[in-house]
Amino acid sequence: MRTFLHCCFLIFGLGAFAQIPAGYYNNATGSGYALKTQLYNIIKGHTTKSYNQLYVCYQTSDRDYFYENDGTILDVYSEKPGGTDSYTYSATNSNDRCGNYAVEGDCYNREHLMPQSVFNEASPMVSDPHHVIPTDGKVNGMRNNFPFGVVNNPTWTSTNGSKLGNNSTAGYSQKAFEPIDEFKGDVARCILYFGVRYHNTVGNYEHAMLDGTNQQVFSNWFLPILLQWHQQDPVSPREIARNNAIYAYQGNRNPFIDHPEYACAIWSAGCALANEAFSALDNVSIYPNPSNDGRFSIQSEIEIDAVEIVNVNGQVIRHIERPTFENNTLVISDLPNGFYFVKMSAGNRGTTKKLIVQ
């Protein structure tokens, strides 16, 4: 399965990368914040379309030809990559657009990944599909204007597992919203785009995700999350197709989809922090493995906040917060023999190990 996906990504990838117009990034020659300014000059001045036109854009940019492959709206807040979506929306039937909603599945609308209150609903930010995406109305409402973040103890969870609750990483403890792993990089790259495309005004905006400058742009607690999500969930064929569709629609591109390496070239210190965190988790091990006495232990240089045990069907069968297990030992005597994934998180970092129970 893995090999199959890898092969097809390459085929998709080569075809799509060929669609970056020749010379588009010729002036992106620098590094650090100089590169960011060069990218701003490349992507600024796109053709601004109306707010209502977004629904027309979505008909080419945001349909599901990647999971169910049914051409319905691809909503990152409800799409279930490993299963059947709880509900779907037609891209062309305007009756599916909000409207009022009470529960998930009622209608979809336009979600500003950078909240529109940040820029007073001004144009062209308000109608830029590179960061304004179609999502279920209810989930959009629950996300509200909260920053994205790492939520280990959700107070509310969407049908596909997107989480609302207090941020768990250092430097911010208020409410945040965490998309599912499949779409963390997708969301991160939309927000990275926003920070570069609106270089000329972003230093005036106030929000927990922003630092009030047009240099670093993103706040100290948020930048490592953004860069970690960007790296752990690499560019997918869906994003490449979406970038091409939006380029056809309004004439500019998201550089972080075309050239993922630009992110660490601009924010090298932030990436160093994120990578350091990765390697600390690389050293985490679980033992004994196979486990044959109804328990296993975790060895780690850093404190593990939460552990999830996932079965081969991708179902989370156990979620354990750190205070409830002693000496990093977990009792699993009730688990049937078989093959499991153990997902461990520490702050905004995560790692997954395979575990055999016999």
Residues that bind Ca ion (CB under 5 A): 64, 67-68, 79, 85, 185-186, 233, 236
Half-sphere exposure of 67 (CA within 13 A, CB side): 20
In whole angstroms, the minimum distance from the beta carbon of 220 to Ca ion comes to 25
In whole angstroms, the minimum distance from the beta carbon of 348 to Ca ion comes to 17
Euclidean distance between CA atoms 343 and 323, whole angstroms? 17
3-state class of 324 per DSSP?
Answer: helix
In whole angstroms, the minimum distance from the beta carbon of 222 to Ca ion comes to 19
The residue behind tokens 């926003």 is: 194
**Nearest 5°: phi and psi at 204?**
-95, -10
CA angle at 100 for the pair 98 and 103, rounded to the nearest 5°: 100
In whole angstroms, the minimum distance from the beta carbon of 9 to Ca ion comes to 11
Q: Which is nearer to Ca ion, 24 or 67 (CB)?
A: 67
CA angle at 266 for the pair 263 and 272, rounded to the nearest 5°: 75
Euclidean distance between CA atoms 2 and 15, whole angstroms? 20
Q: Which is nearer to Ca ion, 36 or 242 (CB)?
A: 242
Contact (Cβ atoms closer than 8 angstroms) between residue 135 and residue 255:
no
Euclidean distance between CA atoms 197 and 187, whole angstroms? 15
In whole angstroms, the minimum distance from the beta carbon of 45 to Ca ion comes to 28
In whole angstroms, the minimum distance from the beta carbon of 292 to Ca ion comes to 37
